[in-house]
Structure 1
Amino acid sequence: MGGLVFAKDGSVRQKPASNKATFTSSKSMVRVRENASEFGAAGSAGKLVRDALRTQIQAASDRYMVSRLSKVMKSIINLDAKSDRGMRQVVAANAASLLGFNFNLGAGLGQSLFSPYTVTPNGATVTLAIPSLNPTVDIAAPTGATHYEILFGVASVNFVAKTYISATVASPLGILPLTGAARTNVSQVATLPAAPTADELVIGVLGMNYYQQINGKFYPLNNNASNPLAVEYTSAVPVTGGGGSGNISYDTNLTGPNDNAQGVTLAASAGDLFKFDALTTGGSAPANMDILVGGAQVASVAYLDRYTGKAFSFTHAGVAHTGAFAATVNF
């Protein structure tokens, strides 16, 4: 009443200013407001990605997926080198670290699908190609499953306009028996209305769904933990790094600035991004390296010079990681 607070003990005191008023106007809260703004932007960007890929995500996600995705989006926001603090946004060209994001930590794609595959862009299309697929050998299905479905989805996300377009996948393979014959040259093509612009990020995901057939009907296994789904393609193009804010992409070996050369000295700085599934370094390599996939640390290597000329591998979700991913290197 009248800005006064009357307590039960009979005392009267001035009503304190609301926390909202302090938050929005206090000079001491400037940094807090800036951080809150960017964390909010990360959450909104993550929701945009989830909405764009909702059809694929709905059957393959864990309880922490939303927060994990927001964390990755915040790391992408941190790469915005043009905007003022508190106003930084997701820039499509900086989003290479989404590659390898696992929507369901309980089911890694590398634990379910063992066939080699490629995801290749061409203008408005993105193509999944699997040269050979033998379900009895190449697919590790959960107990009770009789059939499987390869899930391939592509979407174009515009973080500036806050819009997205989901691609149309032509002739999906559908639900297939786990005891079926081996297939060759399996291909699925996802088509967008137009080739992406500079403000658009194209994301391609690959996953597996499992079913049980009873009396001619297919029933999804009521175990979301068994369905893997991961980002296997992004249109964000890695750029030459070395200064702590670049992205360097390697298909198979992390060998240094000239890619396939063996035994060269690894030249990079904190914050550089690498894509690799084996490691070869020179004798004067950095002392140690942390490897993060989808924003979560999965390995740490000390004294890299010990790996000179030797292959290096690490495990992710309990198995050797074979799919595409982006690794953040911290020295």
Structure 2
Amino acid sequence: MAQQTGILGIQGTVGGLVFAKDGSIRQKPASNKASFQAKDSMARVRENASEFGGAATASKLVRDSLRVAIQAASDKRMVSRLTQAMRAAIALDGVHDRGMRQVLKSNLAPLLGFNFNLGAGIGQNLFFQYTLTGNGQGVTLAIPSLNPQTDIAAPTGATHYEIVVGASSVNFLGKTYQQAAVAAPLGILPLNGAALTNRTVVATLPAAPGADDLVVGVLGVNYYQQLNGKYYPLNNNASNPLAVEYVNVVASAVPAGGGSATSYDTTLTGPNQDAQGVTLAASAGDTFGFNALATGGSAPASMDVSVGGAQVASVAYLDRYAGQAFTFTHNGAAHTGAFAATVNF
């Protein structure tokens, strides 16, 4: 839409003319849809456009399926980041031809640890032990012990908190999803209240997920301020953490482009060691194994690694490793995951 920027200034499109910000005027280029659909030189563009559209559709399915949980915990780039994650999953499809590749459940292990709100990480807000596990129609959160006065880093002004558990089952081929209902919520609790012990929350899907359905479980916290007996949400998305803590698919140890399913060619040892564009900061004796990549993106990225809800390591890496498999051993227990912003075991 055209906008008047001064007495005579116009910026935007009027009729068939484009008024540029620098004062220049040019004719609006004609759409050439037929050329785009038919020219051989546009084949790669058509393929990329098709796969990007598939990634956008898959991203929307996941967002819609978890809308109740993410409505109070997201950042401005959440949609684009989730679409990028789906685009990376499409790139792992080794079955279909370019331009026809799909989001397959088996390629979505890297979604584990996806943070819907970069301004509030799970590892920086929740400091209690927990597990999120799936079984058939249910996704269960188990909390052995939670002392809100020491285990939750609440923002200024908050007086109460609410543990958020959500789950959904998404079928990307059929473009359908189902949402889980939380059967036993913990409710809104005071931040200065007593500690909780042996609590469970179960999110139950309406029907058992199919073999091709991706089950996603998320965990987060909403904060409230109590005033005159009422609870008012802080309405500050920068404070509410929410992350994917469960998916019903195991990360493959085979990286894109090949590699061993049982061993890795590079191993780092804590407390501090680096190699091949990856740096590990962890406890002495912890190890981090991965397959080195010599080519690809070189933008810096970082990953927080948590075990049982407590952060135990930090990994700095080049973005070429995003989505690639790794193994992490902490206190003698081995865990397999994929490079992402946050990973929880």
Q: TM > 0.5 between the two? A: yes
| Aligned equivalent of 1:207, options 205, 220, 227 | 220
Per the alignment, do residues 73 and 31 of structure 1 end up closer, same or farther by CA in structure 2, a change over 3 Å counting?
Answer: same
In 2: Cα distance, 1:154 partner to 1:291 partner: 33
| Aligned equivalent of 1:100, options 113, 119, 127 | 113
In 1: Cα distance, 2:294 partner to 2:287 partner: 14
Structure 1 residues 135-167: Cα deviation after superposition (integer angstroms, max 9, x where no partner): 000000000000000000000000011000001
Identity, in percent, stands at: 60
Could you tell me which amino acid in structure 2 is paired with residue 298 of structure 1? S
1:297 aligns with 301
In 1: Cα distance, 2:72 partner to 2:45 partner: 36
TM superposition shift of 1:223: 1.2
TM superposition shift of 1:281: 5.7
1:77 aligns with 2:84: no
Structure 1 residues 105-144: Cα deviation after superposition (integer angstroms, max 9, x where no partner): 0010111110011111112211111110000000000000
Report the count of equivalent residues: 276
2:191 aligns with 178
Say which SS state the counterpart of residue 222 (structure 1) adopts.
coil
1:19 aligns with 2:32: yes
In 2: Cα distance, 1:110 partner to 1:122 partner: 25
CA RMSD, Structure 1 to Structure 2 (Å) = 3.7
1:43 aligns with 56
TM-score for the superposition, normalised by structure 1: 0.74
Structure 1 residues 184-215: Cα deviation after superposition (integer angstroms, max 9, x where no partner): 11210111233322210000000110000000
Structure 1 residues 243-294: Cα deviation after superposition (integer angstroms, max 9, x where no partner): 746897xxxxxxx739xx998xxxxxx9xxxxx9875268x985999999xx
| Aligned equivalent of 1:61, options 61, 66, 74 | 74
Q: Bigger shift: 30-39 or 116-125?
A: 116-125
1:168 aligns with 2:149: no
Could you tell me which amino acid in structure 1 is paired with residue 338 of structure 2? A
In 2: Cα distance, 1:208 partner to 1:314 partner: 22
Counterparts of residues 124-135 of structure 1 (less than 5 Å): 124-135=137-148
In 1: Cα distance, 2:29 partner to 2:294 partner: 51
1:236 aligns with 2:249: yes
In 1: Cα distance, 2:85 partner to 2:291 partner: 27
In 2: Cα distance, 1:18 partner to 1:36 partner: 16
1:327 aligns with 339
Per the alignment, do residues 195 and 35 of structure 1 end up closer, same or farther by CA in structure 2, a change over 3 Å counting?
Answer: same
Could you tell me which amino acid in structure 1 is paired with residue 93 of structure 2? D
Say which SS state the counterpart of residue 203 (structure 1) adopts.
strand
Moved over 6 A (4+): 287-292
Counterparts of residues 170-319 of structure 1 (less than 5 Å): 170-241=183-254, 244=257, 257=263, 279-280=286-287, 297-298=301-302, 313-314=313-314
Say which SS state the counterpart of residue 31 (structure 1) adopts.
helix
For structure 1, list consecutive stretches of 5 or more residues without a partner in the other structure.
1-5, 8-14, 249-255, 264-269, 271-275, 300-311, 317-321
2:324 aligns with none
TM-score for the superposition, normalised by structure 2: 0.71
Per the alignment, do residues 138 and 42 of structure 1 end up closer, same or farther by CA in structure 2, a change over 3 Å counting?
Answer: same
1:273 aligns with none
Answer yes or no: is the 8 Å Cα contact 1:232–1:325 preserved in 2: no
Per the alignment, do residues 73 and 246 of structure 1 end up closer, same or farther by CA in structure 2, a change over 3 Å counting?
Answer: farther
Could you tell me which amino acid in structure 2 is paired with residue 197 of structure 1? G
Structure 1 residues 17-71: Cα deviation after superposition (integer angstroms, max 9, x where no partner): 7322221111100000000000010001000000000001110000000000000
Counterparts of residues 111-150 of structure 1 (less than 5 Å): 111-150=124-163
Answer yes or no: is the 8 Å Cα contact 1:72–1:98 preserved in 2: yes
